[in-house]
Amino acid sequence: EDKVVQSPLSLVVHEGDTVTLNCSYEVTNFRSLLWYKQEKKAPTFLFMLTSSGIEKKSGRLSSILDKKELFSILNITATQTGDSAVYLCAVVTGTASKLTFGTGTRLQVTL
C-alpha cells in the first residue's frame, strides 16, 4: 500500500521565521511529487518535483526532492501570517497518475 507521511503534523511560528516541512514516501511506480497549500477550501498547487536534487523556487517558497532517500522538503522563508494553512504533499503513481496525499502539516504563523 502506498504511504506518504508528513512531519511535523502542526507547527506554530512567529512572523519572519523560516520553516521546513518534511514529506517522506513509500510507493510503487513513483512518477512525481506535488506540494499543495490548503486554506479553507480546495488545495492550490505549489510545486511539482520529478527529478532528484533540483530545487524549485517561487518567491519565499522552495522545495527539493531526494529520490534515493524518498523524501522532499518544503521551505518557507520570512514567513507571513498569510502563509498560515495546511501544506499537503502528494505522490503521483501509476499509469492512471493517482495522487496519494500525506497527512498534511498545519502551519500557523503568528504576529
Partner 1 sequence: GAVVSQHPSWVICKSGTSVKIECRSLDFQATTMFWYRQFPKQSLMLMATSNEGSKATYEQGVEKDKFLINHASLTLSTLTVTSAHPEDSSFYICSARDPAKGDSYEQYFGPGTRLTVT
Interface contacts to partner 1, rule CB under 8 A: 31-32, 34, 36, 41-45, 48, 50, 88, 90, 92, 96-104
Q: How many CB atoms lie within 10 A of CB 84?
A: 17
Instruction: State the nearest-atom distance from the C-beta of 65 to partner 1, in Å.
Output: 13
18 versus 51: smaller Cβ distance to partner 1 = 51
102 versus 109: smaller Cβ distance to partner 1 = 102
In angstroms, the CA 98 to CA 110 distance is 35
* Amino acid, res. 95: T
Instruction: State the nearest-atom distance from the C-beta of 34 to partner 1, in Å.
Output: 7
Phi first, then psi, for residue 83 (nearest 5°) are -80, -10
